[in-house]
Structure 1
Amino acid sequence: MENRMNFPGNALRLCIDRRNEDIHGRLYCMAGQEAVTFDDSCTLFMLGEEIFDYLQVPQAYQQKRSFRKVEGYLTSIAWTPWENPLMIYEQQGQCATFDIIVQTRKKTSWQGLLKDAKGNVLASFGSDLELLHKITENIPV
């Protein structure tokens, strides 16, 4: 178990509340206390990408190109700052809880570490697909 002094800005707290053919749950980040809910793994990655763009950490290696202004889901959230950022660690999923530390965002994918709820490193990953595989294999049955 790691000594937790803060919650990294480049991390997401992944709370998985349900699992059937796909995973369903909530994401928490340093932007604020509000949970960002997702109903499938595709939405998990799209919202995660939007969170990292919003926080500007880690910077994407490539900028998305758009010919019109696209309003994202996160712009509709009135973020409430964390009184104590360590409270993120209190958020737990009904099925499983993980911390996703994204170190880089290359080739429109994430690279980083997957940790369990206690802060133990479960795996490193080099792509979104690899991360999804590591998450699903570490959800208790």
Structure 2
Amino acid sequence: MGQVVRQQNFQRSPNLISICVDEIRNGELSGRLYHCYSEEACPFSNVAHLIELAENLFDQIKFPQASTQMRTFTEKSRKTVQPPEKKKSAEELEKERGKKGTMLLYVQYRQRSTWQGMVKWVEGDQEWKFFSELELFKIINQAIQ
């Protein structure tokens, strides 16, 4: 499992995400994702959906920037889009809880087509560094189950 780290202050992270796991069925997590740029929860039905929601957020706020870009065969419009304004504080995010467990996620880098960062299991009051999405979800599975 990832490297256990000393307590960090995630509250200053522009891309802090609260992952509220409400159900685990056949080993697949589902629940709600919260971030500072929306008042509403983003429901996810599986890990792939959770990754897609987080990637879309990171692209929208331009943090962390991806070191690789997806190729397309069609012309993308090159409109400059302003990042959204924050609608929730980190303190409000930390109050959200999942029925099975809650993780606070801070992705520091998106290098080598994966994520690197830190994750905090709220109920267990433990934090880990992770170096890939696979490692992150192994940590979450072991902590929650």
Structure 2 vs 1, CA of residues 13 and 119 (structure 1 numbering), >3 Å: closer, same or farther? farther
Bigger Rg, structure 1 or 2: 2
Equivalent residue for 1:98, pick from 91, 100, 103: 103
**5+ unaligned residues in a row in structure 1: which ranges?**
71-78
Alpha-carbon deviation of 1:39? Answer: 0.5
Percentage of pairs with the same residue: 29
SS of the residue corresponding to residue 40 of structure 2 reads strand
Q: Choose between structure 1 and 2: higher strand proportion.
A: 1
Alignment of 1:83-122 (within 5 A): 84-117=89-122, 120-122=125-127
Aligned to 1:46: 52
Correspondent of 1:19 among 24, 33, 36 = 24
Consecutive unaligned residues in structure 2, runs of 5 or more? 1-5, 78-84
CA distance in 1 between partners of 2:123 and 2:63 (Å) = 23
Question: Is 1:34–2:27 an aligned residue pair?
Answer: no
**What is the TM-score when the length of structure 2 is the normalising length?**
0.78
2:58 counterpart of 1:61: no
Separation (CA, whole Å) in 1 of partners of 2:129 and 2:10:
22
Task: Give the Å deviation of 1:86.
Answer: 1.6
Which shifted more, 105-114 or 118-127? Answer: 118-127
Match of 1:114, as an amino acid? V
Q: How many residues align?
A: 132
2:87 aligned partner: 81
Give the distance between the partners of 1:131 and 1:96, measured in 2 at CA: 15
Q: CA deviation at 1:11?
A: 2.0
2:116 and 2:130 in contact (8 A); partners too: yes
| Residues 30 and 46, structure 2, Cα contact 8 Å, conserved in 1 | yes
Q: Which has the higher contact order (CA 8 A, sep 6+)?
A: 2
Q: TM-score, normalization: structure 1?
A: 0.80
